[in-house]
Amino acid sequence: MSMDANALHVDVVGHGPPLVLLHGWAMHGGVFAPLVECLRGHHTLHLVDLPGHGASHDSAVPLALEPCVEAICAQVPTAPWCGWSLGGLFALHAAATRPQRVPRLAMICASPRFVRDGDGDWKYGVSKDIFRDFATGLREDYRGTLERFVALEAFGSDHAKDELRALRQQLFARGAPTAHALADGLSLLETTDLRAVLPSLPAGSLWLGGRRDRLVDPRAMRQAAADAPAARFHLLEHAGHAPFLTHAREVAAHLTGFLRA
C-alpha cells in the first residue's frame, strides 16, 4: 500500500491514554517490541517510523527537527512523547515548541547534546570523530558500519549478547534505512544542541539513563534533568544504551509511574 509522501508510518497498538514512541538512528518503531508488550495494556502506543527508516522508507519528510515534528504532530493525538537516542532530539524539540501537543516528555538514553563541545562546558558527550567515522564508514561499507553501530549500542550492558541479538534482528526487519536518512541522522547527532530550551521547558520530564551506556553518558542526562523544571532522573544500574530491550519491565514501570503522577 502506497503512503502519502508527506506522511510517516505510525503503528497504533494497545489501549488507554496515548503515548508516542520515537526510535533511534538506523532503527524503526518495531525495536520497542519488548516495551510495547509491557505498556500496551496501559497506553495506546503510537510507534513512529522516522523518515527514511522502516516503513517510512519512501517518505519525503526531511529528517530534520522541525519538519519531522510537524509531520508527527499531524498524525498523532495530543500525548506525551518518549524518545530513545536520536528520537529524543525530536521529542525534546516537540515538547519545547509545542507544549499544548506534548504535555509530558520522556527521554531514554538521549541527551540535548550528543557530542562534547570545544570549550569544555559540556564534557559528557562523545567525540565528534565517532559520528564522522560512521559517516565515512557508510560510504565504504554500509552494512558493516550499521553492524558496528549496534555493537556499540549493546556494549557494556549486563545483557550485551541478548541486546546485540535483538538489535541485529530489528536492524533490517523493515528494510534497510536510506543512505541519506542515515547521513542526516548522523549530522543531527553531531550538530544539534538543545540545552538552551531546558530551563524553560514547559513539560514535566523523565530522563532514564543506563549506567553502562557507551553512547550517552548518564551524567549528561542527570545534568539535563537538573537544568529542566519538574524533571526526574533515574539510573538503570545494569543497562546499556537500549534498556527497553533488556530491562523492559523496569523502563515500563518508570514510564507508567511518571505518566500517572
Residue numbers annotated as active site: 85, 213, 241
Rg (CA), the chain: 17
Compute the Cα dihedral for 161, 37, 208, 180 and give only its sign.
Answer: positive
Burial class (CB in 10 A: 0-12, 13-18, 19+), 143: exposed
C-alpha cell at 177: 534505512
For the chain, the residue count is 261
What CA–CA distances, in Å, run from 142 to 9, 137, 151, 252?
24, 7, 15, 33
